[in-house]
Amino acid sequence: MKRRFNPFLQAIDAQWPGYALVYAGIILALAVLGISANRGWWSYVPLSAAVVILLGYFLLGNLWALSQVYGRTGLNPHQVLFDMGRLQPTDRLVFVDLGRRHCPIEIANRLTTGQTIVIDVYSPQWAAGRSLVRWRGRPPHSPDDPRLLWRNSSIDLLPLPDASVTTVMMCQVLSEFWQRGDQLTLLQEIRRILTPDGRLLLAEPIRSKTTWITLGPAALNRKPPPHWQKLLTEAGFQVRADKGLAGLIHCYRADRPSADLARQLSLDLVI
């Protein structure tokens, strides 16, 4: 019997070196605090206590953020995207992924006779994050489900014809690519395979007041919402709707304009 996959625990496992470092810092600060109090080095006590409190706070804040993003009762951004796209149970959906797999598997459960084509665009050349490598090393079991079709590809050549699909979904994929040019390349390739008026459903972690409070300096690794909106526009999409989730994730529905609307947009004729 296969053990049920838990994305929250998998996310912790993927980021374990960072947690181990913070935990070691807390233990070291507690040791300094105890030694200082025992030997009467009172000037070190407040500093050690402050370090313990600060590291403990950010550790708990990071775990809370992970539980919101990956917990089964959390924000579920991929489910929010499904609803934003007004997808039908019979729709044909392309899910661009990086080998995490849990999101397309859960989305496929909402389909009946529809199908989800999952395209893994991972490459260590473009997305070199070590936590992603650890996640890919222990992915969830791929069910034998006719609603799921698995393919491997690259960001510059998705294995689908021009204008062949109506909906593409991505959840925390673009942010794994460090180069803005790589992010733009993938978006332009998605635009190629979308039909006119086809929709891209995108969710990405963001930098906000919430992430500064809960993640501290780690928030520097995230982009603010205007970055993603500007990138979508530059790739030739028109943002139709967006939704923030607890200041941690931002969701977008961006459509590929029809030919006439695209010409109007390029001439700045749409008010």
The predicted-structure confidence for 1-11, as pLDDT tens digits, reads as follows 445 678 999 99
Q: Of 128-142, 145-159, 176-190, 218-232, which range is least confident?
A: 128-142
Shared-domain flag, residues 33 and 126: no
Per DSSP, what are the bridge partners of residue 225?
A: none
Task: Evaluate the CA torsion angle 189, 245, 233, 237 in order and state its sign.
Answer: positive
Tell me what pLDDT residue 72 has: 86
Residue 2 lies in a domain: no
Tell me what pLDDT residue 84 has: 94
Residues 143, 162: Cα–Cα separation, whole Å? 29
- pLDDT tens digit sequence for 26-82: 999 999 999 999 999 888 999 999 999 999 999 999 999 999 999 888 999 999 999
Strand order in the sheet with 92-97: 148-152, 115-120, 92-97, 165-171, 194-205, 249-255, 238-245
Work out how many domains the chain is built from and give that number.
Answer: 2
Tell me what pLDDT residue 261 has: 60
Shared-domain flag, residues 83 and 200: yes
Q: Provide, rounded to the nearest whole percent, the portion of the chain with pLDDT above 70.
A: 94
Tell me what pLDDT residue 269 has: 47
Q: Whole-structure pTM over 0.85, yes or no?
A: yes
Neighbours of 169 (CB within 10 A): 27
Residue 33 lies in a domain: yes
The position carrying tokens 């025992």 is 38
- pLDDT tens digit sequence for 174-193: 999 989 999 999 999 999 99
Residue 271, pLDDT > 70, answer: no
Tell me what pLDDT residue 216 has: 87
Three-state DSSP state, 151: strand
Shared-domain flag, residues 57 and 100: no
Residue 197, pLDDT > 60, answer: yes
Residue 193 lies in a domain: yes
Tell me what pLDDT residue 34 has: 94
- pLDDT tens digit sequence for 66-124: 999 998 889 999 999 999 998 887 788 999 999 999 999 998 888 887 889 999 999 88
Residue 34 lies in a domain: yes
Shared-domain flag, residues 163 and 119: yes
Shared-domain flag, residues 22 and 135: no
Q: Which of 155, 68, 76, 166 is nearest to 117 (CA)?
A: 166
Residue 162 lies in a domain: yes
Tell me what pLDDT residue 268 has: 58
Q: Provide, rounded to the nearest whole percent, the portion of the chain with pLDDT above 90.
A: 69
Tell me what pLDDT residue 26 has: 95
Cβ burial, residue 136 (10 Å; 0-12/13-18/19+)? middle
Shared-domain flag, residues 134 and 231: yes
Residue 211 lies in a domain: yes
Shared-domain flag, residues 204 and 241: yes
Residue 49 belongs to domain spanning: 7-70
Shared-domain flag, residues 46 and 89: no
